[in-house]
Structures are given as structure tokens and as C-alpha cells.
Amino acid sequence: MKEFKHEELLEATNNYSKSHLIGKGSHGCIYKATLKNGQIVAIKTPSLGLCKQKDTSKIENEAHILSSILPNPRFLVNLLGTSRNSSGHMVLVMEHMSGGMLHDLLHLTSPGSSPPSWGRRARMAIQIARAIRFLHKSNPLIIHRDIKSENILFDSKSNARLADFGLAVHISSYDPFSQLVDSMSLPAGTIGYLDPSYTSPCKLSTKNDVFSFGVVLLEIVSGTKAIDVSRTPASIVEWSIRLMEENQIMKICDKRVNMPRHMKGAIRHMLALAIQCVSSDEELRPSMTEVVTKMKRFKIFMWLDMIQSLANIKTRKKDRFEGVKHDHHH
């Protein structure tokens, strides 16, 4: 793992000036910087509050998890190197994602933006699923524990990538029966995305991530937030399950974007899959490998439906043309 000189990072961020600040989280701040070689990166520094509490474990944990994943996969926001600031705390140098975050894209936080097309939603859903499957198939296995729309970023080619490994855990080093339960193994995550069955350290499993992915999938299809107090029920999971039980599954779909006919089948299947992922019985939730396999099938549905609708258009055009020719002879 490359070790960057802190002086270079200070220079690249103009002494961590506000004009370089692009994000703020519970764990710290993210600055956009251009290195001497011209490479644009994101620099993650622990927040002052955490430094004062001597709790920089999330940043150190992220470095530990990401440095164990080599070569860098295209599904994740990867770590390029580390540094130490003047107080000796770790600083991360990450890939810079110029395409923004999924949360902002869906909930239109930037002025003049419009919601993503259905084709783009289907594409990002499978990319996110592949990222989580990659973690779950790693050796040692990695559980992310904080999958949410704010932790899904887009690169310059609009590919979705999974970010923020501050809460992630390696399973090999995880012993639920250990007397020393450290803070990393206590249940953690974000309300709205957090698996309700993850109530104690021994309940940690890949199925916690599957639940959170199901919430993100519902968010992608509905265009609504995981928790929305103006909705009854406020939880996207309870709201979606209720509509599913009332046989109104398509009411979950985002009304802001017209759905092409050739995508209806695939989106219906995607919703059914999301509902399976958020099942209160974790035994009923699919693994991420099963999720990816099912999603590949949706692509086939989309193609079949598209071919069918194109065939229908051609037939209609032909009929119209025949009609025009016919009129011409009279």
C-alpha cells in the first residue's frame, strides 16, 4: 500500500481548505485533491471530534479492509494509499468518484437534475449486487454492514461503486463467542437499512447485507427514501410489503419516470426480488450470488420484451404503410 507524504496532501488540498471539501460523514471529511502527477483523488480525514475521542477506528478499519482486497476491483471505491496527518492520525487516499452518489441522484438534491431512466436503474442495481457478492465471496469473507444509497457512488463512466468500509468486518477474525466483544462487532449500520434481526454480535451474517441491499433496491425502483415520515408506513420495507400483499406491486414504481413497456416484466421481477431480500426470516433471503443470477435473468426478460415491442412497432408501421399505399391507389 502506497504511503503518501502528508506535505503533498496538504499542498493538493490547499491545507484542507473548505473549497476542496466534497463530503462530510460521521467518521470524517472528504476532500477532492489533484496530486503532483495530475491524478484526481479523494482524501478522507478523521473528524476533529473523533480525533479528540481518540476514535479513528473507522478510518483505520477501512484501510485494513481495503488493503486486503487486491487487485482493486472495479465494483468498489478503492484505496490508493494512506498517510498520517500532523497529529499522527491516519488519512486515506481514495479513488475520486466524479458521478456523485445514488442518494442524490434518486432524491434530486442537485438543482436541474432529473431522475434516472429505468435502464440506468436496472444497470446500477446489478452493479451494486455484484459489488456485494464480491465482498461475500472474498477470502476472508467481508460483511459491509452499512449498505445504503449514500454509500453508493458513481465513477466518470456512471458505473455504480460501493464505498465506505468504516464498519465492515472480516469474518475469519470474527468470533461471536469471544469474551472481548469489541466495538466493531456490536450491531451497527444506518436506521432504515439496518436488518431488524441483527440484534447482537452473534447475529452478524451476510444476510444483514442482503437486507440492506433489498432496501436500496426498493429505493432505486420507488425513487423514495428508506424512511419517509410523510408516508404511511414511513419505512420503505413495510410500505412495499403492504402494497405487495394488496397486489399493487407496480404502485411502488417511481411515477416521475415513464416506464417503457419492455421493462415492466423485469421491474416486476426486481421488486419481487427486493421483497425477498427484506424478508423478516433471514433463511428466506437469497444469497448475493443468487441475487446476481436472478438479475442476469431480468436482462433476458428485458431483451425479450424489447424485441417483442420492436416487432409490434414494425407490424404497426407496416400496416400503416400498407394503408397509405392502398389510399394512394384510389
Exposed / middle / buried, residue 322 (Cβ in 10 Å: 0-12, 13-18, 19+) = exposed
The C-alpha atoms of residue 290 and residue 243 are separated, in whole angstroms, by 24
The C-alpha atoms of residue 184 and residue 186 are separated, in whole angstroms, by 6
Whether 55 is a known active-site residue: answer: no
Backbone dihedral angles phi then psi of residue 227, each to the nearest 5 degrees:
-125, 120
Active-site choice (55, 146, 175, 209): 146
Q: Which helix (H) or strand (E) holds 90?
A: strand 90-95
Q: Scanning the structure block, which residue is given the C-alpha cell 471529511?
A: 29
CA distances from 91 to 63, 118, 132, 221, 319 (A): 9, 38, 25, 36, 66
CA distances from 7 to 10, 30, 85, 226, 318 (A): 5, 17, 9, 41, 69
The C-alpha atoms of residue 224 and residue 298 are separated, in whole angstroms, by 22
Sign of CA dihedral 142, 145, 148, 154: negative
To the question of whether residue 299 is assigned a binding role by annotation, the answer is no
Cα of 49 vs its chain's centroid, Å: 27
Helix and strand counts by DSSP (H, E) for the chain: 9, 10
| DSSP notation for 127-150 | HHHHHHHHHHHSSS-EE-S--SGG
Q: Which three cell numbers stand for residue 294?
A: 436472478
User: Hey, which residues are catalytic here?
Assistant: 146
- Annotated binding residues for ATP, written as ranges, equal 44
- Annotated binding residues, written as ranges, equal 44
